[in-house]
């Protein structure tokens, strides 16, 4: 047995290999995971032909819509992605005075939608290049650090939780930034989507964790309400999780 990267218990067993990565299942937290190799991860992010080139292209389209105040067209573009559609549908009718945070905002295209809709929102991303690009396109609503931002009524992230090294600490940090009654919205890679496959969809070292849906109930008990939607969009994209702070 190996120590699990997620729950830190010595309950992880190797189940195979995928794209040269050893793949483990944890019998404590239920996750399937690999260990990230930072050097390869950094090279992947710098590759102009990686999946991140799609995000740059999407940012260009969002900028054209934002510049021309064409909210309808921007919504049409973003609704092509089920995860963006879910976030928009869950927030669009909320009070515009709510304070909103997008974590892992990349080049700011989804943040831009809410800015154009009149919401009070901040986008955060660890990439200085992405934040610089977002500020140039959509204004001074972006930064690289979570510290000093205060409390929020809604926090969301898309395509992020399966990419972080320590999802428990990451989620607890975001929950601590919520006001009472606040909501944390995100999509999570669903281990059940793998069926008999070792791994599918996004390659490591970007995606490094698949979650069992019981994971959220086991590791985030207490004064929280957790709702999981597995049927909103087709697999292998996963499930949506809404954690409400009571």
* pLDDT tens, position by position, 174-223: 999 999 999 999 999 999 888 889 998 888 888 999 999 899 999 998 89
Inside any domain, residue 239: yes
User: Is residue 154 within 8 Å of residue 111, measured between CB atoms?
Assistant: no
Inside any domain, residue 178: yes
Inside any domain, residue 25: no
User: Is residue 12 within 8 Å of residue 2, measured between CB atoms?
Assistant: yes
Check which CATH number belongs to the domain holding 200 and give it: 3.40.50.150
For residue 53, what pLDDT is reported? 59
Asked whether the predicted pLDDT for residue 120 surpasses 70, the reply is yes
CA distance linking residue 123 with residue 80, whole number of Å: 21
| Neighbouring C-beta atoms of residue 47, cutoff 10 Å | 11
Mean pLDDT (the chain) is 91
Inside any domain, residue 23: no
Place of tokens 């990565």: 21
Inside any domain, residue 13: no
Inside any domain, residue 41: no
Q: In the structure, what pLDDT confidence band is assigned to residue 232 with cuts at 50, 70 and 90?
A: very low
Domain span at 220: 61-245
Inside any domain, residue 10: no
Q: In the structure, what pLDDT confidence band is assigned to residue 162 with cuts at 50, 70 and 90?
A: very high
Inside any domain, residue 28: no
User: Is residue 83 within 8 Å of residue 160, measured between CB atoms?
Assistant: no
Q: Give the number of domains in the chain.
A: 1
């Amino acid at each position: 047995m190996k120590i699990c990267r997620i729950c830190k218990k010595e309950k992880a067993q190797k189940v195979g290999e995928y794209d040269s990565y050893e793949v483990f299942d944890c019998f404590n937290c239920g996750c399937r995971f690999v260990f990230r190799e930072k050097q390869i991860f950094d090279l992947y992010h710098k590759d102009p032909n990686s999946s991140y080139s799609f995000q740059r292209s999407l940012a260009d389209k969002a900028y054209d819509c934002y510049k021309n105040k064409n909210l309808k067209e921007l919504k049409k573009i973003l609704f092509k992605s089920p995860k963006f559609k879910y976030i928009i549908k869950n927030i669009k009718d909320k009070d515009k005075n709510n304070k909103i945070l997008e974590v892992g905002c990349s080049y700011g295209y989804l943040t831009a939608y809410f800015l154009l809709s009149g919401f009070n929102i901040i986008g955060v991303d660890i990439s200085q290049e992405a934040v610089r690009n977002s500020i140039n396109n959509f204004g001074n609503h972006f930064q690289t650090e979570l510290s000093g931002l205060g409390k929020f009524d809604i926090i969301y992230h898309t395509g992020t939780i399966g990419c972080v090294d320590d999802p428990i600490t990451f989620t607890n940090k975001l929950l601590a930034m919520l006001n009472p009654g606040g909501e944390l919205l995100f999509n999570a890679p669903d281990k059940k989507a793998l069926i008999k496959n070792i791994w599918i969809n996004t390659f490591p070292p970007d995606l490094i964790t698949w979650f069992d849906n019981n994971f959220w109930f086991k590791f985030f008990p207490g004064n929280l309400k957790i709702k999981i939607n597995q049927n909103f969009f087709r697999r292998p994209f996963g499930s949506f999780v809404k954690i409400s702070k009571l």
